[in-house]
Structure 1
Amino acid sequence: MKENGSLQHLGYEDWLSVAQPQILEHIQNHVSEYYPELAATQKLQVVLTEPPRRKLYTVLFDLAINNEHGITEKSLIAKAYRPKPKRDANNDEHIYKCQYEFEMHKKVYDRFKDDSDGFRIIKPCDFMPELLCLVIEKAEGKDLGRRIYTAKHRYLNFEVRKERLGRHFERAGKWLAAFHAGLADGTKTYFEAKAIEADLQAKFDGLEKSGVLPKSLQAFKKQIFSISRSLDGKPMTQTYLHGDLKPCHIFVRRKVVMPIDFGNMVVGIDYEEVGRMLAEIKLIYFGATPFKHSELDTFLQNSFVKGYFGTEEWPPLVQFYYVSWLTTKWLRRLHKHKWLRNPIVKKSEFVVKALAVKDVVNKTYITPWFYASMKKALDVVDKAKSNSKSLLLLLHGTLLPLILDAGEFLL
C-alpha cells in the first residue's frame, strides 16, 4: 500500500480503482478483530452494497458483513478522505483531520458505550492512515433531517408525526446534555461582551458587503449589543462540543438516539452549541411555510430545549447564541447559491450578471426571511430582559408568519 494518503494526487477514477480494492481487502482481513464474537462461530464476508458515494471531500463506501448463508450480520461505512486535487492542497492537513475524526469518535464511544439511557454511539472499527480512511458501523434508522422533511410535507396524520418528532428531539437534547456533562473539562470561563461584539461586528460588516442596507442593520446591532452587555461576566461551562450538530447528524430508531460525525469536535461553550442546534432547527422552514405546519419548528426547538434543560424555558445565554448563529447563517446563505456554480450557468455568467439574479434572490427572499426571524427573536429577548420577574423566554412565541415590507431591501 501507498503510505499516508499518497494516492491523493490521482484523479478520482484512478484513485477509486486503486483505493476501493485495498479498502475492501483491509476490512476483510481485519473483520475478525472488529467482531470477534461473530468470527468465532462463522465465516464472514465483506461486500460492497452500493456504488461509492462521492461527497465534497470524502468518498463513502457502504459495506455489509455477511455470514456464510449470505445474511447480513453488520453494516459498515468506510469513509475515505478524498479532497479534490489542488495545486496548493496540504495533504498533511487531511491526514490529520481523518485521524482526528477517528480519535474523537473513539473518545466519545469509550465514554458512552456502556450508557443505556436510550443513547448509542456507533462503533469506530478501524483507521487506515495509508488511505486516509476510517471504518465505522452504519447508523440504523433515519436521521432527524429526513424525518422532518417527511413530516412537513404530509398533511395526513401530521399531529401524530409531530408528537413523535418532538419525542425524538427531546431525546436528542438529553443526549447533548449528557455529552457536554460527560466531556466537560472543568475550566471556568466567562462571557466577554467585548470579544463577542467584535465577532458580531465582523458578521454585520459582511452582511453590508453582501448588499444588506446598513440602515436595516442598525436596530439589530443596537439590540444585540445591548443584550450582549447585559450578559457580560456571566459564568459559562467549557466542554467538548460536537462541532457540527444538526438534524441530519442525529439518527433515531424507535427510542434510541445515534449521533454521528465527530470530526469537528472542539472545546467550547456548551450553551453556544445548544443555540446553534436551535438555529439549525429554525432553518428547516427557511422561506415559505405551509400555514398548517408553521409551528413545527418552534415545537421542535422547545422539545430539544426541554430534553437538554428539563424545561422549555430558554436561558438568556442560549437565546443570545441562537440569535448570533442566525446572523452567521444569514451571512452564509447570502453566498450559498449552488446553482450559480453549475457549469452551464457559468458559461452564461454574463446573463446571470446582467439579470443580477443572485442580488434579486438575496434581497427579495433570503434577507427578508432572516430579518423577520431575527427581529422576532430579538424583540422577545429584549422584552424578557427588561422584565426581571419573568424567565419564560420562548424566542418566537407562536411563530405565526411575520410579513415584512421587503421594499427597504430593494432600494
Structure 2
Amino acid sequence: MPSISHRGTVMPASPIRRLVPFAEQAKNKGIKVFHLNIGQPDIKTPQVALEAMHSLDLNVIEYGHSAGRESYIKKLSAYYKTKGININTDQLMITTGGSEAISLAFLSCLDVGDEVIVPEPFYANYYGFASSTGVKVVPLSSDIDTSFALPSFSEIEKLITDRTRAIFICNPNNPTGYLYSREELEQLKDIVKRHDLYLLSDEVYSEFCYDGAQHISIMELEGLEDHTVMIDSVSKRYSECGLRIGMLLSRNPRIIETALKFAQARLCPPTLGQIAAEASLETPEEYFRETNVEYNKRRNFLIERLNRIPGVFSPMPKGAFYTVARLPVDDADKFCQWVLSDFSYNNQTVMMAPASGFYITPGKGTKEVRIAYVLNIDDLAAAIDILERALEAYPNRCLD
C-alpha cells in the first residue's frame, strides 16, 4: 500500500472541528447543542449583499481575473482609504477567503524550512497553513494571567535565528481577543526593520473593538512599505463566512507579483462571492454600529457569567468575538468531549473548542477553552448554565 505524504501526516486536524462527530451524535439523540466552538456569527448578512445575489442576471458564470474583479478591486481601494489605509489597486488582490491569503503570503515570503514567529495562542489553522507550505512556526508564548499581553520585546528577539523571515500577528486576536496598541506595533516595526523581516498581520476582526479602543493596521506604520503584508476577509465583517472572499494587501510590488503567480494556478477567486462582497461595500454604517453594540453586550455578559463560576477565569477581550477561559478540569480536551458525549442538561449541551489546539508549546492551554460569543444573549445564558452544571458534575473537576 502506498504511503501518505509526510506533509499530509504532519498536517494537524482542526481543534475547532475535531469534536464535530461527538456533537452530531448528541444531535442524533435529540439533544440540542449550543455551538460556542466556531466563529460563525448569527448576525444577519447585509441586505445589499443578499439583494445582489437575488438580482443576478447572468447567462454564464465565467472565469475572472486571477487577482479579482476589477470593479471590486477599485471599490476596495477606495474603501481602505476611508479606513486610513492608502492602498492602490495594484497593491491588493482578492483571494479565496482569508485562508488563501495567508497561504499565499507564506508561499511568497518564506521558503521551506524558514521560520515565522507567531504569538500563541493563535488561530489553529495558521499551523496548518505553515505545515502545508513547509514553514516552521516559532511560538511566542503569552499567558492568560496577563490577559495574553505580549512579553517583553527582548524575548521576541531571542527567538530570531538565521532562518527567521517573518513575524505574524492577528489583530484583534483570535482566540484571545487581544488588541495591539500603537506602541506595541511601533516596537514590532523596529524589530522588523532591524532584522530585515516581514510583518504579516491578520486583520479580519478590525471592525470589532470595544471600550473605545481603536484598531491600528500595520499598513499605517510608516517606513515598512516593503515589509508588511495584511490579510483581510469579508467573513466576519459582513457575516459572510460562506462567500470565501479574502484580500491580500502589500505595498511591496514583488509580493503581489509573486502571490499572483501562485493565484494563477487556481485560476480565479469565486465570482459569485465577489459579486456579493462588492455589493457589501454599500452596507450602511448603522449596520456596523448595531453589530458592535450587540457584540459588546454579549462580551460583557459572557465574561461576567464565566468569572462567577467557581474556578473559572477569563480575561476581558478587547476585540474580535472570542475569549479564552481557564476551567477547573484535569484536561479541557477530555472535558469538552465528555460534555458532548456523556452530559446534557434539560436535553441540551454545549460545544467548545479546547484551547490546547491553539498552542504548539507542549503542555500549554490544557485547562483552557476558546468560547465564541456568536450567539444571542438568551442562548449564551443557556449555554453558560449548561457549562456550570457540567463542571459541577464532571468527575475530574479539580478546584484549587
Q: TM-score, normalised by structure 1?
A: 0.23
Determine which structure has more spread, i.e. the larger CA radius of gyration.
1
- Which structure has more helix as a fraction of its residues? 1
